[in-house]
Amino acid sequence: MTANILLVEDEPAIQELLAFNVLQCGFRAIQALDVTSAADEINRALPDLILLDWMLPDTTGVEFARRLRADQRTRNIPIIMLTARTEERDKVMGLEAGADDYITKPFSPRELMARIRAVLRRRMPQMSEETVTAAGLELSPTTHRISANGSSLELGPTEFRILHFFMTHPERVYSRGQLLDQIWGDHVFVEERTVDVHIRRLRQALEPSGLDSLIQTVRGSGYRFSLEK
Ligand code: CA
């Protein structure tokens, strides 16, 4: 899965530098020169991470981070603050506003990318390229191969994403709406029963290996990937 990174930075040279590095790392870059256009982009589709400059022409990055944290829809988007302010209390203020990490200008592109990867890994494990294993399943996001109890498993792209999401978020119940947001992306107009169709296909694919019971229906709530019966 390619992560969409929203870059909120008003200095064109730094904006271009950020976009260049983000693309080099295989992510998608969405560019915004101020908070107003960043908010428009977020309205269109939720990014997977926001790189947020502190000093912006309309609203400060800190204020915007607070707003994002206060809103149900944007509450969980990882944020990395970018700033020329080096004082400890500024850093504390940024983190208190809800930033996940903080980097000071001038930054080394390498360090910035390492931080982006670390935050994505921590906040959105399904974005990571690492092979995941659980029960008798092994799934590789890079090769798109899955094995179930040693034999290879063929899945459609949506079932693949569902399984990857579940394997990186075990033991938690997700409603159909939450699964749509996480797997299809929010603002995608798909009916909730579509989730049921894909879950059914996923279970059918897992059946021969006896691993279909990992995908549990939680009555009235949604679905859970659980290693416990
Ligand atoms: Ca700035």
pTM of this prediction?
0.69
Residues 66-70 have a mean pLDDT of 94
Q: Residue 187's pLDDT band (boundaries 50, 70, 90)?
A: low
SS (H, E, C) the chain: CCCEEEEECCCHHHHHHHHHHHHHCCCEEEEECCHHHHHHHHHHCCCCEEEEECCCCCCCHHHHHHHHHHCCCCCCCCEEEEECCCCHHHHHHHHHCCCCEEEECCCCHHHHHHHHHHHHHHHCHHHCCCCEEECCEEEECCCCEEEECCEEECCCHHHHHHHHHHHHCCCCEECHHHHHHHHHCCCCCCCHHHHHHHHHHHHHHHHHHCCHHHEEEECCCEEEECCCC
Give 159-183 pLDDT, tens digit per residue. Answer: 999 999 999 999 999 999 889 888 8
Amino acid at 203: R
**Does 51 score more than 80 pLDDT?**
yes
Q: How far is the CA of 24 from the centre of ligand 1 (A)?
A: 23
Q: What is the pLDDT of residue 107?
A: 87
Fold adopted by 4-127: Rossmann fold (3.40.50)
Rounded Cα gap, residues 77 and 68, in angstroms: 8
Q: What is the pLDDT of residue 204?
A: 97
Q: What is the pLDDT of residue 118?
A: 87
**Does 91 score more than 90 pLDDT?**
no
Task: Return the minimum-mean-pLDDT range out of 92-96, 130-134, 186-190.
Answer: 186-190
Q: What is the pLDDT of residue 96?
A: 83
The residue behind tokens 């609203």 is: 59
Q: How far is the CA of 62 from the centre of ligand 1 (A)?
A: 12
Q: How far is the CA of 73 from the centre of ligand 1 (A)?
A: 26
Q: How far is the CA of 193 from the centre of ligand 1 (A)?
A: 45
Q: What is the pLDDT of residue 188?
A: 64
Q: What is the pLDDT of residue 83?
A: 86
The residues, ordered by sequence, that sit 6+ positions from 42 with a Cβ below 8 Å of its Cβ are: 6, 68, 74, 77
Q: Residue 229's pLDDT band (boundaries 50, 70, 90)?
A: low
* CATH of span 132-225: 1.10.10.10
- What residue ranges do the domains of the chain occupy? 4-127, 132-225
When the pLDDT of each residue in the chain is averaged and rounded to a whole number, the result is 90
Q: What is the pLDDT of residue 62?
A: 92
Q: What is the pLDDT of residue 142?
A: 84
Give 110-151 pLDDT, tens digit per residue. Answer: 899 889 988 888 877 777 778 999 989 999 988 889 999 999
Q: What is the pLDDT of residue 186?
A: 63
Q: How far is the CA of 206 from the centre of ligand 1 (A)?
A: 50
